[in-house]
């Protein structure tokens, strides 16, 4: 049965869409956009929130966020309230600026991260605010130009995204740009705005659908996992560093910590690496990129390992105590 409550869990990728009340403009000019981005940038730093993509339209905007410590609801309340107050003062108006509550879609990172970055960054081109890909490369009101090195936004996760394409920044930028160009012909992507598998898998008989939630974009297994996590009353954040966690793991296995950074087929080592990924991302709110660097893995590899690590830690509760408690 579809849930109506938001899924607001630290470490979860969220696609946020905010529209003006009655679809009115929320940015009248470039000064409004600059004021909004200044506030966004400041809050990203203050709250430890990752921003992987963004685009400002005239009457709405898109953000792809991964809150690490502060809940998304707290972040968005500060962002929207602060901007609305300044906007009303600047334009001598009063009353609500935004339409109802913002829309947030919890997203399965390993399956949808790159697709969402491309989808969000193509919005200005899709609606004609940028006429060509060359214009989009320098368009100042989208995170695409920041990734291309033509604009700046302090707090946007540039390296995290480019590392998904290549370790060399120049090569990564070209590969990312080619990826964006390949998405132009796809047009509007209704399958990227939530609804579990009902939209992403197309028309099927109702009996074949997996777990489904309008506010979640991901597989049925992912949806069910988020439901369980959201219903859990446990909220735990450890202050342990990644280095200390890895040292504890090495001590437990009685091996050198460098061995944890090597790919191995030894089940015991592989299981502990997966457990580190799960505990670091889900329990300690480290970014996937930080964990990937520490363990010499790819970000997508960490995402896969998190799922496996959850099963391992559930089956061996004492492991969590050895690594982070």
Given a cut of 60, is residue 1 above it in pLDDT?
Answer: no
CB 276 within 8 A of CB 296: no
Distance CA 250, CA 248 (A): 5
CB 247 within 8 A of CB 136: no
Greater confidence, 14 or 216? 14
- At 218, list the tokens: 């991901």
Report residue 269: phi and psi, to 5°: -65, -45
Sheet (strand 103-107) strand order: 49-56, 60-67, 13-19, 103-107, 216-217
What mean pLDDT do residues 246-262 have? 86
Distance CA 104, CA 173 (A): 28
- At 242, list the tokens: 């990644």
Given a cut of 60, is residue 205 above it in pLDDT?
Answer: no
Reported for 81-90, long-range contacts at CB under 8 A and 24+ positions apart, including other chains, are 82/39, 83/35, 83/36, 83/39, 86/35, 86/39, 87/26, 87/32, 87/35, 90/31, 90/32, 90/35
Q: What's the mean per-residue pLDDT of the chain? A: 85
In the chain, what are the domains? 13-192 (3.30.70.1290), 242-323 (1.10.1750.10)
Given a cut of 80, is residue 199 above it in pLDDT?
Answer: no
What mean pLDDT do residues 215-232 have? 78
Tell how strand 13-19 and strand 103-107 pair up: antiparallel
First to last CA, the chain: 36
pTM of the model: 0.71
Distance CA 154, CA 168 (A): 21
Distance CA 264, CA 235 (A): 32
What mean pLDDT do residues 235-259 have? 79
Single out the residue of 24, 36, 7, 222 nearest to residue 103, CA to CA.
7
Banded model confidence at residue 210, pLDDT cuts 50, 70, 90: low
Distance CA 61, CA 55 (A): 6
CB 74 within 8 A of CB 163: no
Alpha-carbon torsion angle 39, 281, 6, 205, nearest 10: 130
140 Cβ contact list (under 8 Å, min separation 6): 30, 33, 151
């Amino acid at each position: 049965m579809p849930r109506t409550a938001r899924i607001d869990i630290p470490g979860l990728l969220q696609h946020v869409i905010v529209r003006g009340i009655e679809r009115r403009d929320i940015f009248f000019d470039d000064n409004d956009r600059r004021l909004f981005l200044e506030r966004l940038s400041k809050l990203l730093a203050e709250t430890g929130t990752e921003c992987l993509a963004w685009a400002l339209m005239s009457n709405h905007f898109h953000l792809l966020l991964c809150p690490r410590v502060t809940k998304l609801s707290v972040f968005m309340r500060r962002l929207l309230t602060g901007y609305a107050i300044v906007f009303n003062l600047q334009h001598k108006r009063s009353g609500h600026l935004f339409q109802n509550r913002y829309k947030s879609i919890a997203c399965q990172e390993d399956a949808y991260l790159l697709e969402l970055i491309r989808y969000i960054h193509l919005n200005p081109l899709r609606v004609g605010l940028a006429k060509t890909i060359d214009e989009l490369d320098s368009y100042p009101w989208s995170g695409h130009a920041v990734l291309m090195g033509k604009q700046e936004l302090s707090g946007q996760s540039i390296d995290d995204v480019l590392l998904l394409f290549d370790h060399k920044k120049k090569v990564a930028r070209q590969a990312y740009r080619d990826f964006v160009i390949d998405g132009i012909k796809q047009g509007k992507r209704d399958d990227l705005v939530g609804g579990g598998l009902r939209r992403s898998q197309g028309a099927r008989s109702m009996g074949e659908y997996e777990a489904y939630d309008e506010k979640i974009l991901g597989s049925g297994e992912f949806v069910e996992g988020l439901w369980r996590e959201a219903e859990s009353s446990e909220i735990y954040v450890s202050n342990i560093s990644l280095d200390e966690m890895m040292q504890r793991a090495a001590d437990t296995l009685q091996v050198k910590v460098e061995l944890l950074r090597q790919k191995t087929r030894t089940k015991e080592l592989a299981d502990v690496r997966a457990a580190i990924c799960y505990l670091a991302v889900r329990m300690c709110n480290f970014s996937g990129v930080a964990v990937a660097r520490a363990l010499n893995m790819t970000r997508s590899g960490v995402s896969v390992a998190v799922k496996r690590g959850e099963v391992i830690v559930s089956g061996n509760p004492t492991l969590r105590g050895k690594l982070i408690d």
